Chain A
């Protein structure tokens, strides 16, 4: 199946700092989503972004499908941003479910 690699695996930031999380994938994709898993385990949709750039408040994401990577930007981080960020992809035109990466664990300290 399609391989999904996320980096860095762990990240510690001080409140107010900016960060970039990366997701590399091994094949063309039909669907790419970024999720935030909060400390209670809930997976929250951040972006549906198979290509292009989207922004939502302090978060933005860019997917360059031809080069098989996606980036998630977090600006002015807050302690509530802590948790695990997952990238998940669906192989192009497969009709199958998302494959998840191993995630980036983010801790934002006061």
Chain B
């Protein structure tokens, strides 16, 4: 079974430029998550989708970050304009669903490492 796919793996941009990351979840997984992991810290949730609807985007800096999940499958996370503090690894994860009975078990992709100069 294929895992969560992410691209690009690495991206270097200058501040004020824009960048986009793509994620394709595990087939059949209804829930998709974007996490931000700054060096030395645990991952922090940016946005959670259930199918193509947003469940939680309370920690997404909406003045510069946007995300969409058209058709309820793959997703794109965009940053525009980027700031120095956006340097981090952006992790995509998916799960069958949420809640009990194992449906909330998360599986992560390899991540996209962003460096903002």
Chain A residues near B44 (CB, 8 Å)?
A: 100
Contact flags (1/0) for B73-105 with A, using CB distance below 8 Å?
000000000000000010101000011101011
Of listed B33, B99, B107, B110, residue having the most chain A CB within 10 A:
B99
Closest B-chain residue to A105, C-beta based?
Answer: B40
A31 touches B111 (CB 8 A): no
Are A30 and B99 interface neighbours, CB within 8 A?
Answer: yes
Are B56 and A41 within 8 A (Cβ)? no
Do B113 and A41 touch (CB < 8 A)? yes
CB pair B102 A102 closer than 8 Å: no
Cross-chain contact A33 with B106 (CB below 8 angstroms): yes
Partner of B98, one of A40, A43, A96: A96
Nearest-CB distance from A95 to chain B (Å)?
Answer: 4
Docked pose: A98 CA to B105 CA in angstroms: 9
What's the Cα separation between A23 and B55 when bound, in Å? 26
Judge whether B45 is part of the interface by a CB distance below 8 angstroms: yes
| CA–CA, A30 and B101, complex, Å | 9
Chain B residues with a Cβ closer than 8 Å to the other chain, count: 25
Please judge, given known A-B contacts A42-B110, A103-B42, whether A95 and B99 are in contact too, CB under 8 Å. Answer: yes
| Residues of chain B lying within 8 A (CB to CB) of residue A30 | 99-100, 104
For chain A, the count of residues having a C-beta within 8 Å of the partner chain is 24
* Residues of chain A contacted by B45 (CB below 8 angstroms): 97-99
Do B33 and A97 touch (CB < 8 A)? yes
- Asked whether, in the complex, the Cβ of B42 is within 8 Å of the Cβ of A86, the reply is yes
Structural contact, A98 and B99, CB atoms closer than 8 A:
no
Task: Given the known inter-chain contacts A43-B91, A45-B105, A86-B42, please indicate yes or no for A95 contacting B55, CB distance below 8 A.
Answer: yes
Judging by beta carbons under 8 Å apart, are A42 and B111 in contact? yes
CB of A96 within 8 A of CB of B55, answer: yes
A6: nearest chain-B partner, CB-CB: B42
Min C-beta distance of B37 to chain A, whole Å: 8
Residues of A within 8 A of B55 (CB): 95-97
B108 within 8 A of A: yes
Measured CB to CB, the closest approach of chain A to B76, in angstroms, equals 18
